[in-house]
């Protein structure tokens, strides 16, 4: 299974492509260097395959590379960050 995560600023979301098909996305509201993540969705055919975790990990890695911060209002992203404290420094409460 080949995956690629890309920012789609026109839709305010990061998308994961799985073997070329849209597997899911995590939506955000841009607030300067801070992205407020509001919702994550993974297609039913891609659930329980690690696609959601791969999406969030790659999204957070890209935010880190840009020097940005996140407000994880999405419960899935917040839970991922709780389980992976290496991303905790990206979290801010200031949107």
SS3 of 76, please?
helix
Looking at every residue in the chain, the average pLDDT score rounds to: 96
Mean pLDDT, to the nearest integer, of 3-14? 97
Give the pLDDT band (50/70/90) at residue 95: low
Contact yes or no for 34/68 (Cβ under 8 A): yes
> According to the model, what pLDDT value does residue 1 have?
81
Per-domain boundaries in the chain: 3-90
Second CATH level (architecture) for the domain 3-90: 3-Layer(aba) Sandwich (3.40)
pTM: 0.95
Q: What are phi and psi of 78, to 5 degrees?
A: -60, -40
Q: Name the residue with higher pLDDT: 1 or 78.
A: 78
Helix ranges, 3-88 (H):
51-66, 75-83
Adjacent-strand bridge partners of 3: 18
How do residues 20-46 score in pLDDT, each as one tens digit?
Answer: 999 999 999 999 899 999 999 999 999
Q: How many CA atoms lie within 13 A of 51 on its CB side?
A: 26
């Amino acid at each position: 299974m080949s995956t690629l995560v890309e920012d789609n600023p026109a839709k305010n979301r990061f998308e994961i492509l799985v073997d070329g098909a849209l597997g899911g996305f995590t939506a955000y509201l841009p607030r300067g260097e801070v992205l407020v993540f509001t919702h994550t969705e993974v297609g039913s055919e891609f659930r329980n395959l690690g696609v959601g975790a791969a999406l969030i990990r790659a999204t957070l890695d890209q935010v880190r590379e840009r020097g940005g911060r996140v407000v994880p209002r999405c419960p899935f992203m917040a839970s991922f960050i709780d389980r992976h404290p290496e991303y905790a420094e990206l979290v801010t409460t200031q949107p």
